[in-house]
Amino acid sequence: MNRAGLTARKLALAGFLICAGLIAFALYLQYFENLEPCPLCMLQRICFSALGVIFLVAFLHGPGRTGARIYAFLGFLVALTGVGLATRHVWLQWFPPDVSACTADLFFQLERFPVLSVLAKALRATGDCAKVDWRFLALSIAEWSLIWFILLAGYTLYMARRAGERRLSMWH
């Protein structure tokens, strides 16, 4: 048995549960607190969901050392993408653009425009993305999202490191 009984599968399950909890909270804010997500919020949700799927597949697959490192690397890339999106979102909130222009819902845009065009427009987001509707402990949703992406990126690095340890068993 390894330290504290942590196995790659348990770590992956914990990562999945964290991502699922974050998405559940985002849906709560949207449907019960009536906070409509901006395009950057939706892209961050996609990153949290993709990261959750990677963790879930890693948990279900239970790969060996190399596979666990691959899952951790993929998770790290997704988490870094989320860090980038959340950083842009926080920057827009700290330094709102002079021109406020609301954009259509992300899924509406994806149905009508090429994906790269929608992503470029989301990254240049104005209006809705610069608005802060909710805070917890003086931090906006975008700031909390950035914190969680940084923590999850670190978590994937920890998982990769643990995958290299001899005593780490995928099945116990």
Amino acid at 51: L
> Which three-class secondary structure state does DSSP give residue 135?
strand
Q: What is the rounded average pLDDT of the residues 129-148? A: 81
Instruction: Say which CATH number the domain at 38 has.
Output: 1.20.1550.10
Tens-place pLDDT, residues 68-88: 889 999 999 999 999 999 998
Q: What is the rounded average pLDDT of the residues 17-46? A: 89
What is the model's pLDDT at position 127? 47
Domain contains 171: no
What's the number of domains the chain is made of? 1
* pLDDT band at residue 106 under the 50/70/90 scheme: low
What is the model's pLDDT at position 169? 46
> Does the pLDDT value for residue 153 go beyond 60?
yes
Tell me the β-bridge partners of 136. 139
Q: How far apart are CA 161 and CA 57, in angstroms?
A: 19
What's the mean per-residue pLDDT of the chain?
80
Parent domain of 138: 3-163
Handedness of CA 109, 110, 116, 120 (dihedral sign): positive
What is the model's pLDDT at position 6? 63
